[in-house]
Chain A
Amino acid sequence: MTQPASGTLKKTPLHARHRALGARMVEFGGWDMPVEYSGIAAEHMAVRTRAGLFDVSHMGEIEIAGAAALNAVQHITSNDASRLADNQIQYSALTTPTGTFVDDVLTYRLSAEHFMLVVNASNIVKDFHWIAEHVKDVGGDVVAVNTSSRYALMALQGPAARGVLQTLTGVDLDALKYYWFATGEVANIKATISRTGYTGEDGFEVFVPPSAAERVWDAILQAGKGAGVVPAGLGARDTLRLEASMRLYGNDMDETTSVLEADLGWIVGWKKDEFLGADTLKEQKAHGTSRKLVGFEMLERAIGRHGHEIYMAGQKAGVVTSGTQTPFLKKAIGMAYLPAGQTAPGTEFDVDIRGRRARAAVVPMPFYKRHK
């Protein structure tokens, strides 16, 4: 219940806004970030029913440019970046040689020879060193640059997001498809707008220069007043992404879990000639993995959370990676690693919650899917 020593933490360009809005601040990945303004549940519901505005400026951007940029991106990430057109985005993994996660990333194709990876805040330095080292593997003309400090990033998420943002930009948002981006202006500030998010709702992420972040933040909240847009913090971001079954690096996967164990085979470009970890992942695809990430729901009143151990037939069988009582579904749900072969929906197990065993069952993911 103590506030972090905010003097030692990094601050986003919107830090003063969060303080002024009365946000509760927490340390996250070395940053002093808002966890909630009006309350996690209220913000969660606002995003599901109206829209919420998130400061995600702590996320990192690493750009890869040069004649060999595509080769380099293909080498260091699992998904097939050759399938991207200009202004298109894909979810991918930055992989180790054993097919585990250095990070999970969004790959933006800015042009044929220029890509941008959006990476997790806590991994920016690690990722940059990893990328700078491994783009050299492919040879040719390519350079990696950590451009994180050049961008403030805001996410406007929820059914009202498009209508509100459209009042501030000339970019035709109706024509902007999911996982595509456009460049233009938002509130007269040069911006990149991508139709992406981490909430399971329709929404946009807006990249602007840090010096203009407050102006754009204020403009979006002002334009969204009538539609009930509220600022939303990392607490709601976490419960929203969990309901939508989106993985969180450091919780649901990391350098010890493979892309297939995380059940993300769809972000592997199986037809690619080569990438870091390809051999291991192909082997795992052919012969299976020993464990797999699943969704679960508690069958009794209790909340399985990150780190809680799982027992099957009295034996330790796995671990909960994420879990909470979610505000919209009003259920205690989560994700967990279970032994392969025991991951079918309906499979029951016990979660050890501070010494008490509580029953849970595997359920299909996603837990929540919006109506289109």
Chain B
Amino acid sequence: MTYPSDRKYTKDHEWIQTDGGAASKVGITDYAQRQLGDVVYLELPQVGRALKKGEVFGTIESVKAVSELYSPVDGEVTEVNSALAQNPEAVNKDPHGSWMIAVKVTGGQEGLLDAAKYTELTK
């Protein structure tokens, strides 16, 4: 699996694709979906929620496991992918195309990994 170079990654296996505006997309990586297995449930926050870097913004459940979703940055939730919440198994099929929330980033991007470093981490 190659990780797209158009975004940054966290050690907790989220990705963030920053757009410089109010809609930086956040999702989980292919590595994360493989560890989880068949995703069956996704719980996402309300629009307008303020997030701190590392704060839990939602929950993802597979048949076997429950895992929390952590915000890669400080910011505010501007959009929630409710279509994905209705069809959460799409996370397994296309993890890097399955954004969960859009965030208006308010803080810096310290600690985020580029694709090469993240690939290294998951080896």
- Chain A residues with CB under 8 Å of chain B are 1, 24, 35-36, 39-42, 235, 238-239, 301-303, 305, 324-327, 332, 354
Inside 8 A of A325's CB, which chain B residues have their CB?
40-41, 61, 63
CB atoms of A324 and B63 under 8 A apart: yes
Q: A40-B62, A40-B64, A327-B38 are in contact. List 13 more A-B contacts (CB 8 A).
A: A1-B13, A35-B37, A35-B64, A40-B37, A235-B37, A235-B64, A303-B40, A303-B66, A324-B40, A324-B63, A324-B64, A332-B41, A354-B66
- CB contact under 8 A between A354 and B59, given known A36-B37, A39-B38, A235-B37: yes
Residues from 32 to 87 in B contacting A, C-beta threshold 8 Å = 32, 35, 37-38, 40-41, 59, 61-64, 66-67
- CB contact under 8 A between A39 and B41, given known A235-B63, A324-B64, A327-B63: no
What residue in chain B is nearest A42 (Cβ atoms)? B38
Interface CB pairs A-B, < 8 A, 25: A1-B67, A24-B37, A35-B37, A35-B64, A36-B37, A39-B38, A39-B92, A40-B37, A40-B38, A40-B62, A40-B63, A40-B64, A41-B38, A41-B63, A42-B38, A235-B64, A238-B64, A302-B41, A303-B61, A303-B66, A325-B41, A325-B63, A327-B38, A327-B63, A332-B41
Query: Sorted from nearest, which 6 A-B pairs have the closest CB atoms?
Result: A325-B40, A41-B38, A1-B35, A40-B63, A235-B64, A40-B38
What residue in chain A is nearest B12 (Cβ atoms)? A1
CA distance A305 to B37 in the complex (A): 17
CA distance A39 to B63 in the complex (A): 10
CB atoms of A301 and B38 under 8 A apart: no
CA distance A354 to B69 in the complex (A): 14
CA distance A302 to B40 in the complex (A): 10
CA distance A332 to B63 in the complex (A): 10
B63 to chain A, nearest CB (A): 5
CA distance A301 to B61 in the complex (A): 12
Inside 8 A of B59's CB, which chain A residues have their CB?
354
What residue in chain A is nearest B63 (Cβ atoms)? A40
CB atoms of A305 and B66 under 8 A apart: yes
B36 to chain A, nearest CB (A): 8
A26 to chain B, nearest CB (A): 9
Inside 8 A of A332's CB, which chain B residues have their CB?
41
As a 0/1 sequence over residues 10 to 33 of chain B, the CB contacts with chain A under 8 angstroms (1 = contact) are 000100000000000000000010
CA distance A41 to B39 in the complex (A): 10
CA distance A354 to B61 in the complex (A): 12
Inside 8 A of A235's CB, which chain B residues have their CB?
37, 63-64
CB atoms of B41 and A301 under 8 A apart: yes
CA distance A340 to B16 in the complex (A): 50
A199 to chain B, nearest CB (A): 15
What residue in chain B is nearest A302 (Cβ atoms)? B41
